[in-house]
Amino acid sequence: MRPRTRPRPHRLAAALALALASVFLISPPAGAAVDTGTWYVLESRSSGLALDIDGASTEPGAGLIQWNRTGAANQQFRFIDAGGGYYRIQAGHSGHVLDVYDWDTANGAEVVQWNDLNNTNQQWRVTENADGYATFVNRFSGKALDVWQQSASAGARVSQYTPTGAANQQWRLVPVDDGSGSAEDPYGYLFAYMNGEGGANGEQVYFALSRGNDPLAYDALNGGQPVMTSDVGEQGARDPFIVRSPQDGKYYMIATDLKIHGNGDWDRAQRHGSLSLVVWESTDLVNWSSARLERVSPSSAGNTWAPEAYWDPTRNAFVVYWASKLYSTSDHSDDTHHRMMYATTTDFRDFSEASVWVDKGYSTIDSTVAEHEGTYYRYTKDERSGTSCGKFILSETSTSLTNTDWSFQTECIGSGAISHGEGPLIFKSNTEDRWYMFIDEYGGRGYIPFETTDLSSGQWTPVSGYSLPGRPRHGSVLPLTYEEYQAVQSAWS
């Protein structure tokens, strides 16, 4: 580490002049939810990584980086009131405060820890935005604490830069003493998806991990390559869905046994396709079993598409559901339509006999389910062409998961924001009463996010600010615990 020098007298004069000027040029600080009695982890909005004193050094002059959240004291900071709406930001492991190195005003200048002298280059204005993220602007330089070049990598430097309002200058204040970050608390999201039939490896399982607790920003894992591939059945794994067992905590991932790339024969896939699910098991989301096939559909079915599962406490079992065309002829030569089917299981090895769940007299596929306050909400693709709501999502409600007569709620979900949609996935925010639905604009942009704060309203609003890896297609999002997030990040990054 290079030695740190304090400014010479003539530089102090210049610094003082600039500091005095800043009193008049910088607008009064906005209110922010900072508790001077609380230690915080400062989490970057752009990367999801935590502000970190490099190497946990206790030496003055040690630099700032972003790093995987560990909960260690060198990632814990508190705010000391410096007057005038400014704060000194103190590191928990060293007692030093964040300091603009050598009184530098340049973009990219180092921010380090240094002895607390209460100088203006150690004072920061904290401004909270409407989304609950804060920016930190130095009183001396007028520059904001900034992840250099918007890097998403652990170890990237944190310096100062002209305030832009970008996500790499926004920080979430996570209180250390409220239980946030403990092993079993909700934290982050795992996104499992496919890339589609356009490439040789597109119909396999890909993972992306959220940037911290941000439900709308994800980075591909495993270098953007498949995490799991199927070597069974048709050797494709479309529409991956992950679920956790409430009985023993085991994770199951199921997928469609289908590969279209290289043949493009959708008619064959619907008349003489696989009657089985592709199944993987894991105890930790990192180490997975080999893929296996489990048959769930009857001989009259022509296909078994887009399987999902939801735990039903009244049956003490998973209800597994999927789309199948059911034929009346043995050679499956007649014309028919997709129905939603279901069966029950506790271990994804032994399944009950399949039953028809949804039969509207026309094709419906890709159902997904959420439960809230005793009501189930089911979202399904209307597969018809030439109707006003065909190729969009319809929603229904029921108080029983296996009910075959759900109540209509609304239709045309996605219309006006996307050209058509399928493969809806739904999940709840870890931090607020907000739900997210991603709808796959197949043949176009892939998944597009929508949100609502009230499932009972049936109203979904498209989200403009999101970051997804490439053009992800039909999959699922699994909310994680902090321990799970750390394990997945360590294994696949």
Instruction: Report pLDDT digits (tens) over 368-394.
Output: 999 999 999 999 999 999 999 999 999
Give the residue with greater pLDDT, 11 vs 65.
65
**pLDDT 10s digits, 187-239:** 889 999 999 999 999 999 999 998 777 899 888 999 999 999 999 999 999 99
**Residue 44: CB partners within 8 Å, gap ≥ 6?**
50, 51, 66, 147, 167, 168, 170, 171, 211, 212
C-alpha–C-alpha distance, residues 43 and 46, integer Å: 9
Sign of torsion, CA 267 270 271 273?
Answer: positive
| Tokens linked to 321 | 């559901």
Torsion of CA 316, 322, 327, 328, to 10 degrees: 20
Measured in whole angstroms, the distance separating CA 91 from the mean position of its chain's CA atoms is 29
For residues 74 and 399, what is the distance between their CA atoms, to the nearest angstrom? Answer: 49
Residue 423: the pLDDT is 98
Specify the pTM: 0.72
- Identify the band that residue 180 occupies on the pLDDT scale cut at 50, 70 and 90: very low
Q: Tell me: pLDDT of 463 over 90.
A: yes
The phi, psi pair for 223, rounded to 5°, reads 65, 25
Q: Provide the mean pLDDT of the chain.
A: 90
* Domain ranges within the chain, ordered by starting residue: 9-178, 186-492
CATH code of the domain made up of 186-492? 2.120.10.10
| Rg from Cα positions in the chain | 26
Summarised one tens digit per residue, pLDDT across range 296-319 is: 999 999 999 999 999 999 999 999
Pick from 474, 479, 422: which is nearest to 240 by CA?
474
What pLDDT, in 10s, does the model give residues 232-271? 999 999 999 999 999 999 999 999 999 999 999 999 999 9
Q: Which two tokens stand for residue 235?
A: 């050797």
Mean pLDDT within 170-181 = 72
Residue 12 predicted with pLDDT over 60? no
Backbone phi, then psi, for 414, in 5-degree steps?
A: 105, -25
pLDDT band at 19 (very low <50, low <70, confident <90, very high): very low
- Among 342, 430, 355, 442, residue whose Cα is nearest residue 393: 442
Contact indicator for 277, 254 with CB cutoff of 8 Å: yes
Give the number of other CB atoms < 10 A from CB of residue 81: 11
- Fold designation for 9-178: Trefoil (Acidic Fibroblast Growth Factor, subunit A) (2.80.10)
Q: Can you tell me the distance from the alpha carbon of 9 to that of 240, in angstroms, rounded to the nearest whole number? A: 65
User: What's the token pair of residue 205?
Assistant: 């399982």
Question: Cβ contacts of residue 474 below 8 Å, gap of 6+?
Answer: 193, 194, 238, 239, 306, 366, 422, 423, 425, 440, 442
Asked whether 138 and 112 are in contact (CB, 8 A), the reply is: no
